[in-house]
Amino acid sequence: MFLTGFAALAVVPTLPTATADLHGVALFPLVAGCFVAASLLGGVLGGTWSDRSGARDPLAAGVVLTVLTLLVSAASTSIWQLAAGRFLDGLAAGLSAVAVNAAIGQAYPERLRPRVLALMSACWVIPSLVGPPVAGLVSELWSWRAVFYGLAALTALPALLLVPVLRRHAQPRTPDDRPPRPPLFIAAVVSVAAALGQYGVSGRDARHLLFVALAAALLIGFAPRLLPAGTWRALRGLPTTVLLRGLSSGTFFTLEAYVPLLLLTERHVDPVVSGFAFTGAAIAWAAGSWAQGRLLQHVPRHRVVVLGALVMSAAVALAVLGTHPTVPALTAAPAMPIAALGMGLLAPALTVLSLGHSPAGREGHTSSAMQTNQNLGQVAVLALASAVLNTCLSLGTTQLAAYAAAFTLLTAPVALLALLAARARAA
């Protein structure tokens, strides 16, 4: 997880340089969105694979595939090859993320899961501090391709470490105990729809609106088939837990996308401040995760979710306040670390609740549902916020007022987090 964090965080600041070098700036939203879209499909594959044969094989496959896809991206001769590399990298990330959660559910008793999840979050702190600046420096002084090649070499280490682990395969399940085959066609359609939505919200013309409408239709028609029955109706237990994962993730990543944009384009804050905000968010997430695993380990998990939601509501309020022209320009900057602190509290709590609701041998399926709705939440909430922003701009409002409206929208998912948390409580 530590080395995978480097690969994830170092690639993002390199993508703009790579797309410009490959003469594909117009397709940057598609390149950036391919990763999230493909992780939907990877999560479904990883979940069913983990239930069928244990989490070792899909975890190893995800790590090995990550190395190969970094090499594909590094050798890109066109923007389409880079997009394909990012798509495959998202597939690998989905495999790995779901396999890690499934492994925790299969190997650790419930009382230790909050601590293990806190350790997983802590693995991202140093990569968040070192990865982006080192990648930027290498890209500027040498080449963006060197970043991808270097990350491939670095990520190969855990792939080699997994070789002796793979010699101890889990016992195969009997045919009667095997879970049903994954709905690969449905997962593929949802992945494509997510990519179309990411591209569609990047503009306001008729073509982009058509992509948004098509993506929405496909997601509404197919996404529920990848989730527990009753997820969008917030039925008690696992359905509500999965729903809350999407709401929380969508709120956080929308703040992560628009707060830096607000600071740079409207409040004219130095880009270094945005970099510190990202770093502070990673540290705050790890701190929140540590707190829920140590200081709050005896508190019922659904109450930890409520606490995290309250912290995130403070972040949303700060982002809205930061759009007012009379307040200091840096007012909105702490919104990202505060929201990350809330996520550090509630995200592991939701994972523990989901594994607690999962039947034995179905941890992979449960982790897949959580990963799927996490990505769907990112796509849906970000798309709604983008629609509000673009609509306000088209009506002639100021940029700051448009940002205020988009941030105000986020009060709805945060309020639902707090109100519905009791429906996700452990049995």
Distance separating alpha carbons of residues 245 and 239, to the nearest angstrom: 10
CA distance 348 to 332: 26
Instruction: Provide the pLDDT confidence category of residue 414 given band limits of 50, 70 and 90.
Output: very high
pLDDT, the chain, mean: 83
Q: What is the pLDDT of residues 22-57, one digit of tens each?
A: 887 666 666 766 777 788 788 888 887 887 777 778
User: Of 4-8, 136-140, 189-193, which has the strongest mean pLDDT?
Assistant: 189-193
Residue 174's pLDDT band (boundaries 50, 70, 90)?
very low
- Which pair of tokens denotes residue 138? 């290498």
DSSP notation for 14-48: GHHHHHHHTT-GGGHHHHHHHHHHHHHHHHHHHHH
Whole-model pTM: value is 0.76
| The pLDDT of residue 139 | 75
**HSE (CB half, 13 Å, CA atoms) of 148?**
22
Q: How far apart are CA 232 and CA 242, in angstroms?
A: 9
- Can you tell me the distance from the alpha carbon of 306 to that of 337, in angstroms, rounded to the nearest whole number? 18
331-377 pLDDT, tens per residue? 999 999 999 999 999 999 998 899 888 877 777 778 778 888 888 88
Q: How far apart are CA 72 and CA 175, in angstroms?
A: 37
Task: Determine the length of the chain.
Answer: 427
CA separation (Å) from 396 to 36, 175, 256, 293?
32, 62, 25, 48
Q: Is residue 151 within 8 Å of 13, Cβ to Cβ?
A: no
**Residue 404: band (very low, low, confident or very high) from pLDDT cuts 50, 70, 90:** very high
Could you give the percent of the chain with pLDDT greater than 90? 24
Ordered structural domains, the chain, with CATH: 1-169 (1.20.1250.20), 230-427 (1.20.1250.20)
143: CB partners within 8 A, 6+ apart: none
Locus of tokens 């990848």? 226
